[in-house]
Amino acid sequence: MDMPAHQLSMSVLMTPDTANFSGNVHGGTILKLLDQVAYACAARYAACYVVTMSVDQVVFRQPIYVGELVTFLASINHTGTSSMEVGIKVVAENIRTQEARHVNSCFFTMVAVDENRKPVAVTPLRPFTPDEKRRHAEALDRKELRREMDKRARK
């Protein structure tokens, strides 16, 4: 599947080893997969190593069940000098009925680094489509909110 360098899609079948004590997919399993997807999307875009700086607004909207096909739709929404916001939408699909549900969304901030783990510049993202422009504007708002929260936390 041809996707732009700033987007990535990954699908994983949820197997019994991903279940928690309630029989649903464990939230930690989803968090690990989210981090992997964020890494792959950001590293692909930056063409270098990346590290996770922060995770914002992880919202588990609905449970995910064993046997569902889970698709992670990732997109670079904004770039800074060396950082990138990766937005990820998670869709769970019952593979028998093909019913799909939006079950999770979140935003990762990833930082591009060299072999010595020092930050390196990334190519600025240029949003073109209306969706990309909306995501970019929303990412700027979240960046400002993160700065404000950081200021408050340091007082």
* H helix or E strand, kind and range, residue 35: helix 27-46
Domain count along the chain: 1
What radius of gyration, in Å, describes the C-alpha atoms of the chain? 16
Residue 102's CATH number: 3.10.129.10
Is the per-residue pLDDT at 62 higher than 80? yes
Q: Is 123 exposed, middle or buried (0-12, 13-18, 19+ CB in 10 A)?
A: middle
Considering the chain, what is the average pLDDT of its residues? Answer: 95
**What is the pLDDT confidence band of residue 2, given thresholds at 50, 70 and 90?**
confident
| 101 located within any domain | yes
pTM for this prediction: 0.93
| 1 located within any domain | no
Is the per-residue pLDDT at 95 higher than 90? yes
Report the distance separating Cα 112 and Cα 127, nearest Å. 20
Domain that holds residue 105: 7-154
